Chain A
Amino acid sequence: MNALTRALPWLSGIAAVLILPHVFSSGASISIMSLIGFGIIFALSYNILLGQTGMLSFGHAVYYGLGGFITAHALNIIAGSKLPIPLPLVPLIGGIAGLVFAAPLGWVSTKRAGTAFSMISLGVGELVAACALILRGFFGGEGGISTSRTSVLQVFGWSFGPQIQVYYLIYAWCLICAGLMYAFTQTPLGRICNAVRDNPERTEFVGYSTHMVRFLAFCIAGFFAGVAGGLAAIHYEIVTSGVVGAGPSGFVLLMTFIGGTGFFIGPVLGAILMSAMQSLSDITGAWLLYLGILFILMVMFAPGGLAGLLFMHRPAANLHGLAKLAPAYLVAAIPGLGLFAGIVFLIETSHHVLVKSSEGMQMRLLGLEYQADAPLTWALIAALIVVTFLAFRRTWPWVASAWSEAIKPEAR
């Protein structure tokens, strides 16, 4: 029973990996799901630093990016010299590259904790990003390093030309890496990482060097970031210098934080949501604004992230609890959705006026056609937001009392 409950999340993960490409079989969705695969590895590796050891890094993409570059170069060398290394093993090269760079840079960075560590990681990130622009031979300058995943040794007839084969490759690595990283949390070092996060001073007084603990965690995180970068290189078949910069470093922080740093599943949820949101960029030019708003809301109201929100419901996860909570949530959802729609109208209409005014002021949103610059439009949007917000607020006490009802009899 206990072993089964523990295996259940993993089994459902494997099942999802196998079933989803048959449900969403279009090229675009396979591609997005592939992105999510190495995004999960990257975010989980970041959480070894943030959630497990309490290190806020602003430069984790350095190891992801360098893993990617080394993998691209390695692929080109393997293809050029006809080395007998099949593609499925190549991400390991990315991992080793991540580890090799994380060791010296990490030794310096982890000498300090807290704010000083964050600053050093930012500095190292900027340093590597600057090098990426200067060392054109290695980083390929503006054009980056191109490679081809199909020109290496093929085994079992898998050419890795079709995206679906790459999808399976990515998820095989994703499951292995996630399993290893989970196992790491269950080791003596993994547990001492938590101790360092909670109280570094006391950890020194039970025999552990906090520098060494942080350093080892940093190296392990660097290794898995490198694997993720290697898979990204295989997926895109190109690596550009931007990948080591502040952008991806910030993105992995957002992914991990929005997903929730306190639970192992958190970064997985974050990677899924954020990669999905990235594909919003096809629908709206203001997608980064939505991302920023989501991040601010999470920091303010749900610092435990998505996983925190989910696991908060554990004491109410029974029939009695659901019977109490579901009606309250449904009632709150009506003005909540109205408010959400109001904000979407506000953002999209503003975006249209500010960015796309050259296309004319006539615009379409959610099946409605209207003038973006008409006073009536703005008055209606304002009214929608104000009315739904006030209604939404009035549902809060109701939700709160439903909450205390839902967890009451189970608590004692």
Chain B
Amino acid sequence: MTNISGAPGLKLVNLQKSFGVTPIIRGVELEVHRGERHAIIGPNGAGKSTLFHLISGRFPLTSGQVWLKGENITGLAPFEINRRGLSRSFQVTNIFPRLSVFENIRCGVLWSLGYRYSFWQGIERLRDARERAEDILEQINLTARRDIPAGLLSYAEQRSLEIGITVAGGADVIMLDEPTAGMSNSETDYAVELIRKVSEGKTLIIVEHDMGVVFDLADRISVLVYGQVIATDTPERIRSNAAVQEAYLGTAAHADSEHA
């Protein structure tokens, strides 16, 4: 395979996306190293979620290239990208509401264990799938809720399950879209620990609004403003970056004046 060691975990080359005539992503260049925790921040409407959709194949690109571990994955379908080891979560909880919590995780596990479209094996007999799903349940602390329909979980539990489904397939590039959105402080602390745990030894790309979470987790941070990456650096240097401050404070001041 094209699993060239030394190639970055994820590389974006001049990525562009327009909806109609409106450009949303305007030439994003980004390199995420293997094994690093990389945060993408930026003001509302900067295009962070769109960028995730482009990388994971949910939206087609207008132009540019996406490279995953040295392999060009531009234009592939979401399931093909997932099979190559990139897994993502969603900003709005995206689970299987009528399936049990356990079954949600097991569905995330099946393809990676090679069961594919099997209709000749009893699913209850697949010990490795069951054990892997039980491991993940333990990690996301939902073992006690294992048999209830996922749609009945609390919001914070559904967010944990969302992360569980994302990491279940064992992908080594994990993308989390605002995993702590809408959580209380204690829930956020718990979620950060969970993310730290499940992303151990993996490449993590995270979009997050909570700056506490970002500076706590990230090895490096990229700042996306109006469809372009204006800076990529360590948390300390990003904090003191003049262009970033201007983009953030500028928008914040602007937003305040609109409210007044």
Contact = CB atoms under 8 A, between A and B. Distances in A.
Nearest to A189: B119
Contacts of B117: 188-189, 192, 208, 212-213, 216
A12 interface: no
B127 interface: no
B107 A206 contact: yes
Contact of A202 (B94, B103, B110, B112): B94
B123 A186 contact: yes
B216 to A, nearest CB: 26
A91 to B, nearest CB: 20
A142 B111 CA distance: 50
Given A198-B97, A206-B107, A216 B119 contact: yes
Nearest to A198: B96
B122 A192 contact: no
Interface stretch (B1-9, B12-20, B75-83, B181-189): B75-83
B96 A202 contact: yes
B118 A206 contact: no
A255 to B, nearest CB: 22
Interface string B116-140: 1111111110100100000000000
B207 interface: no
B83 A188 contact: no
A220 B120 CA distance: 12
B88 interface: yes
Contacts of B90: 202
Interface in A141-192: 183-184, 186-192
B100 to A, nearest CB: 10
- Of A184, A188, A201, which is in contact with the most chain B CB atoms at under 10 Å from its CB? A188
Interface residues of A, number: 28
Contacts of A189: 117-119
Interface string B15-46: 00000000000000000000000000000000
Interface residues of B, number: 38
- Of B96, B106, B115, B122, which is in contact with the most chain A CB atoms at under 10 Å from its CB? B96
Contacts of B165: 202, 206
Contacts of B94: 199, 201-202, 205
A194 interface: yes
B56 interface: yes
A87 to B, nearest CB: 28
Interface string A211-232: 0110010001000000000000
B225 interface: no
Interface of A: 183-184, 186-192, 194-195, 197-199, 201-210, 212-213, 216, 220
Q: Which 3 A-B pairs have the closest CB atoms?
A: A207-B111, A198-B96, A204-B78
29 contacts: A183-B122, A186-B122, A186-B123, A188-B118, A190-B123, A191-B103, A191-B106, A191-B107, A191-B110, A191-B123, A194-B96, A194-B99, A195-B107, A201-B58, A201-B94, A202-B90, A202-B94, A202-B95, A202-B165, A204-B77, A205-B88, A206-B169, A207-B169, A208-B117, A209-B77, A209-B79, A212-B117, A213-B117, A216-B117
